[in-house]
Amino acid sequence: MSTCPAPVRPLDASTAEELTIAAAKLLADHGSATSPELLAALPEASARLAETLGHALRPVDTADGLFVLRGLHLDDSEIGPTPAHWSTVGDSGALWDVVLLLVSALMGTPIAWDGQQDGRFVHNIVPSPGHENEQTGASSDVLLTPHTEDAFHPGRAHLLLLACMRNHDDIATTAASIRLTRLADEDVEELGRSVVPILPDDAYELARQFAGPPAPVPTLFDSGEGLTLRFDPAYTPREEADEAWRAAYGRLEDELARVSVAVSLRPGDVLVVDNDLVVHGRVPFQARYDGTDRWLKRASVRVEDRPTRPSAERGEHGYGQAALTAWAA
């Protein structure tokens, strides 16, 4: 068995069980993982788990900007077939939605988007017929280009959580940290300028209806604790930029490719990615479309008062915070 190229934080059997039992109880009490009452009960429920889980769920603390939480037990025969599309998931694997929400609540505040996957706090990532070549999580045939999640939005997640339900073909998520790259000072300076915008991705039904052209944003930001980035080449109109910026952007892409790791998640794994340090993607694969496809669940988390972004972002215009629903902790 190959070793994991990301730091693994193991959960012992009793801690894993405690988390699963807490999730099952919440689900039994509220009937559905999308129940507003269940969301409202999360802070208290997660606080009760803090003593045992707090250490494993401490902030990302290495330059590679990610970790894998491993040790949760998932029985393939209990989660039902992989849905063909996020919209037909219903309550499939709902226990894992709640597990992911509890982990999210221990690390920060889960957020959702009105225009994405029906406003659900936990998204389902499955390959879907007709979407094979898109730059969204529903694709398969193409490389999902390394990106910052929701890069276009000033309210984007600080942490991205991916829970693995099924991955029979060991299809890897890719991850590359800006903190592992080597860039010339001139390139860092060039990419700190606001030159071009980042456009909303195809997964947002509503985003394209917002009025006005989006503002140019910096790609790199020196937080004082090190570099952070906001990067989504598939949605960046780089042809609008000058030659010097384009060349620096190309060197950043090359460096990210050089330091990129491929993490093949196993069922029950939860990958936690720092969305300010790390760009993630996915290798191409052949979808099965027979109910046994790769299946991930995804949550987005805000961690307030992080010094990882330029403060000007707060006033950034273009796409309103109306698209964002934060459940208030």
Ligand X SMILES: O=C(O)CCC(=O)C(=O)O
**What's the CA gap between 219 and 328, in Å, rounded?**
29
260 close to 3: Cβ distance less than 8 angstroms: no
97: contact with ligand X by CB under 6 A? no
Contact 152, 198 (CB under 8 A): yes
Residue 58 C-alpha from the chain's centroid: 17
Nearer to Fe ion, 82 or 173 (CB): 173
Q: Residue 253 carries which side chain, given as an amino acid letter?
A: E
In the bound state, the residue with its beta carbon closest to ligand X is 173
Q: Supply φ then ψ for residue 156, to 5 degrees.
A: -60, 165
Phi, psi angles (nearest 5°) of residue 192: -85, -10
Would you say 22 and 102 are in contact if contact means Cβ atoms under 8 Å apart? yes
Nearer to ligand X, 298 or 309 (CB): 298
CA–CA distance, 37 with 44 (Å, rounded to integer): 12
Residue of minimal CB distance from Fe ion? 149
Burial class (CB in 10 A: 0-12, 13-18, 19+), 285: buried
**Near ligand X in 205-224, by CB under 6 A:** none
From the list ligand X, Fe ion, none, pick the one residue 298 interacts with, judged by a Cβ distance below 5 to 8 Å according to partner type.
ligand X
**Min. distance of Cβ 27 from ligand X in angstroms?**
23
Interface with ligand X (CB under 6 A), residue from 103, 106, 122, 125: 125
Spatial CB neighbours of 184, under 8 Å, sequence gap ≥ 6: 251
Quick one: 71 or 120, whose CB is closer to Fe ion? 120
Answer for which of 72, 126, 198, 296 binds ligand X (CB under 6 A) is 296
The neighbour count for residue 141, using CB atoms within 10 Å, is 13
Among 82, 117, 148, 173, binds ligand X (CB under 6 A): 173
Contact pattern for ligand X over residues 245 through 284, marking x by CB under 6 A:
-----------------------------------x-x--
Exactly one of 298, 301, 318, 319 binds ligand X (CB under 6 A); that residue is 298
Beta carbon nearer to Fe ion, 70 or 280:
280
Integer CA distances (angstroms), 228 to 191, 232, 321, in order = 11, 13, 22
Contact 96, 268 (CB under 8 A): no
Q: Which is nearer to Fe ion, 27 or 323 (CB)?
A: 323
Q: How many CB atoms lie within 10 A of CB 69?
A: 22
Contact indicator for 14, 51 with CB cutoff of 8 Å? no
Residue 66 parent element (H or E): strand 66-70
Which CB atom, from 134 or from 149, has the smaller least distance to Fe ion?
149
**x-marked contacts with ligand X along 129-158 as a string, rule CB under 6 A:** --------x------x----x---------
Smallest separation, CB 149 to Fe ion (Å): 5
Residue 198 touches which member of Fe ion, ligand X, none, C-beta under 5-8 Å by kind = none
Residue ranges in contact with Fe ion by CB under 5 A: 149
Where on the phi/psi map is residue 189: left (φ > 0), alpha (ψ -120 to 50), or beta? alpha
Nearer to Fe ion, 149 or 269 (CB): 149
Selection from ligand X, Fe ion, none that 274 binds (CB < 5 to 8 A by kind) is none
Smaller CB separation from ligand X, 251 or 297: 297
Q: What residues line the site for ligand X (CB under 6 A)?
A: 125, 137, 144, 149, 162, 173, 280, 282, 296, 298
